[in-house]
Structure 1
Amino acid sequence: MIKEKVYNIVILNHHANTPDSTGGGRHYDLTKKLSELGHNVTVLASSYDNKKREYRFDEDVKETRYNENFKFVSIKTKPAYTNSVGRFLNYVNYKKKASSYDNYNVNPDVIIASSVHPLAWDAGYKLSRKYNAKFIVEVRDLWPLSMYEDFTGIKKKVVFSYFESLEKKFYNLADAIITTAPYAYEYMEQKYGTDRKKVFHIPHGLDIEEFDKLAGTSEDNLPSELNEVLNDCFCVTYTGALSKSEGLSTFVESAKFLKDHEDIKLVVVGGGPEKTRLNKIIKENKLDNVLMVDSQSKNHIPLILKKSNLLICGLMEREAFKYGISKNKFYEYMAAEKPIIFASNVRGSLITKANAGITIEPDKPEKLKETILHIYNNIDTLGREFAKNGRAYVEEHHTVQIITESFLEVISNSKKQ
């Protein structure tokens, strides 16, 4: 652990949140650990909750201190949006307000700008120039590549030209680049000639102690129907956003081939745009072996995972996935010490690497059924082995402590241009 120097760090993440809002996340956990080590950290986020379509605070700027070294700043970015145009204008407003924020106790010497959207890079660079600080770009989504399938024609050309210009500019200006995707450096090298030596892969991490604490809470916190199924059945469970990219229709459709196994239940916990479609599949096929449950508090997810028998995750084919992924869900699943099925062709499956389960091709419900039954029939041998391997892997590679050490190494070793 690097302890010689105390850093004054600013982290820009438009959608960063805290446990008292929507459950914390990468930068809350990172900042908490950095602050406990004596570093001064300020997080600049928007107070607009894009999921609930409302502001968390009425103030234009809401400052919350979690300890003497950790300040979380929520900026009221406008407009409140419900479509892509409003979202972009909100991003522009964040860039303007974040780059002009100046209520620091000590002038920052490190700026980390995270690409929940790349306009944060612009704001971060302006702050780095103002305070003569190191400028570190964090790439959590390869903009615009992550939107490759979402646009066509002239609209795609305009959107890609704009965001690619930001990529080229700020990859070049960055003193260091942190990516969550393990092979993102290939994209940067091939497309922009980015120096690989300044690109560092730091995946997501998990607060293991907090996860275990929450996994041990009372089951009375869960909906009665969910609790009953988790207690009485062999549950194959998905938790998270019900989005198209997760390939959840394949999961639900696999239930058609599992009707003869009355003790097996497929459990889907979450909300999102795919909910209507999934309910339609369930209704049309009379799938009484599938339980759909609305989104639960983030604090209840560890308990749900711990009470399940087998965990499922999927990803559709996307252009950006050829450079790998880092998915928070993986680390929660592994920490729960359960076998995992990953239905995806994504490069470098972490589930396979950790030997924490089985990776299969996406969009094949019958193959998924076969894989579920294979683990079901061997749950006390193969299933237990997968479960132990996953837990050991996340403890060794993906704790918040390890991720924090990696960030400090990048901060310490990067050279200001």
Structure 2
Amino acid sequence: MMISNKVENIVILNHHATAPDTGGGGRHYELGKSLSEAGHNVCVLASSYDNGKKEYLTYEKVNEVKFSERFKFIRFKTAPSYKSTLGRFLNYINYKNYAGAYSNFGDTPTIIIASSVHPLAWIAGYKLSKKYNAKFIVEVRDLWPLTMYEDFSGLKRKLVFSYLESLEKKYYRLADAIITTAPFAFEYIESKYNIDKSKVHYIPHGIDIEKFDDEQKMSDDILSEELSEVLNSYFCVTYTGALSKSEGLSTFVKSAKLLEQYKDIKLVVVGGGPEKNKLEKIIEENKLENVIIFGKQPRKYIPLILKKSKILFCGLMDREAFKYGISKNKFYDYMASNKPIIFCSNVRGSLITKAGAGVTIKPGNSENLAENIISIYNNYDNVGEKFGSNGRRFAEENHTVKIVSDQFLNVISHVK
């Protein structure tokens, strides 16, 4: 791996990037922190609108937060709020305009990384790269518009795809390098747009293992009395994250009916989102007493919740884009927790299987899910603990923030 010693001035565009000062974190905060500690200057351009909380983190037009002398976040008050699909798209446009016009960087940018929470970030990123004669790197978090294939149909799908595919075609070709979080995305980019696969670099998500371990050591007192009691008293099969349709949570909750004879097993759902009412209805209609839904918890509580759980659940509905693989942040939290994982998905190249961190089964089958829960439950001291240790080792060897930041620097070295 070739890494240049030159100090780079790196600008990262991510509409939804979050940081610890507002209770968040994630890929670009951790990456920026690591790159700045390696001696580079990093500025992340984000929005102050929190899509999860549906509120603004700050009402300043432009807000600057410095995490160190070399690392800062700039947040733009983008509008309008996400009250409709149109509102969301107008917010995207507003972010593109703010980010593309921003100039108060201090040091002249040498590297622009535009990340596709949505592809309009590429427009702003390319504009900045031309203005400052900087190298332009496209990061593909989701394969737009393929990731939305199931969300549209008919004429609307045709119009949306036509526009977004035109952006893909243009900015994949203009980019000095393309970074993807999906391991097989190069196949899509090469076959659809005739982009040489040597230009495409797979860099998955990473995890700050030391921070995760420190948060696992936090006292139970930070948790609600009810959540703490459940985690300490039962064999908990736990899901943490957004309660969205794509996560396969209906299957998870329905599997509880088949586990009722195991009085010490509880299914625990920790999070908030649009599927909550649907899940509560399933619980009520089936009179399930072995499923408990807790609200969204602060990010720093999650390692402790995972530590106190016995099995961790992750699911994904079928999507056309998943044939190119995925990289979910949840995977690395789960693996770092040293617990067995059940992953319900048809996604290609399951990381859980690759790591030997658990089992990957087909989605939508609550009976099969229950059978796998029982199998690990009955063999926990052998099979369960082996899955857990395999996952932890895999995360340490392949997915630390330091490893990921070195991979970014390697790409940067090749485009200079």
Q: TM-score, normalised by structure 1?
A: 0.98
Q: Is the 8 A contact 2:81 2:91 kept in 1?
A: yes
Equivalent residue number for residue 240 of structure 1:
241
Gaps of 5+ in 2: none
RMSD of Structure 2 on Structure 1 (CA): 0.8
- How far apart in 2 are the matches of 1:232 and 1:47? 40
Matched, 1:261 2:258: no
Structure 1 segments, 4+ long, off by >4 Å, are none
Equivalent residue number for residue 193 of structure 2:
192
Q: Is the 8 A contact 1:205 1:400 kept in 2?
A: yes
In structure 1, give the amino acid aligned to 2:183: P
- How far apart in 1 are the matches of 2:51 and 2:103? 25
What's the CA shift string for 1:333-376, capped at 9, x where partnerless? 00000001001110000010000001111111111111000000
Q: Is the 8 A contact 2:4 2:413 kept in 1?
A: no
SS in 2 for 1:20: helix
Matched, 1:412 2:405: no
Equivalent residue number for residue 63 of structure 1:
64
Matched, 1:361 2:362: yes
Matched, 1:334 2:329: no
SS in 2 for 1:66: strand
Shift of 1:53: 2.0
Matched, 1:93 2:111: no
Q: Is the 8 A contact 2:18 2:26 kept in 1?
A: yes
What's the CA shift string for 1:75-115, capped at 9, x where partnerless? 11122231110111111111111011000111001000000
SS in 2 for 1:4: coil
Q: Is the 8 A contact 2:268 2:291 kept in 1?
A: yes
SS in 2 for 1:341: strand
Percent identity, aligned pairs only? 67
SS in 1 for 2:21: coil
Q: Is the 8 A contact 1:337 1:390 kept in 2?
A: yes
Q: Is the 8 A contact 2:209 2:336 kept in 1?
A: yes
Equivalent residue number for residue 351 of structure 1:
352
What's the CA shift string for 1:295-352, capped at 9, x where partnerless? 1010100000000001010111100100000000010000000001001110000010
Matched, 1:170 2:179: no
SS in 1 for 2:63: strand
Q: TM-score, normalised by structure 2?
A: 0.99
Matched, 1:109 2:110: yes
- How far apart in 2 are the matches of 1:26 and 1:234? 31
- How far apart in 2 are the matches of 1:221 and 1:329? 21
- How far apart in 1 are the matches of 2:396 and 2:225? 32
Equivalent residue number for residue 317 of structure 2:
316
Q: Is the 8 A contact 2:335 2:388 kept in 1?
A: yes
Q: Is the 8 A contact 1:31 1:70 kept in 2?
A: yes
In structure 2, give the amino acid aligned to 1:136: I
In structure 1, give the amino acid aligned to 2:11: V
- How far apart in 1 are the matches of 2:356 and 2:410? 28
Matched, 1:284 2:285: yes
Q: Bigger CA drift: 80-89 or 105-114?
A: 80-89
Q: Bigger CA drift: 36-45 or 18-27?
A: 18-27
Matched, 1:396 2:372: no
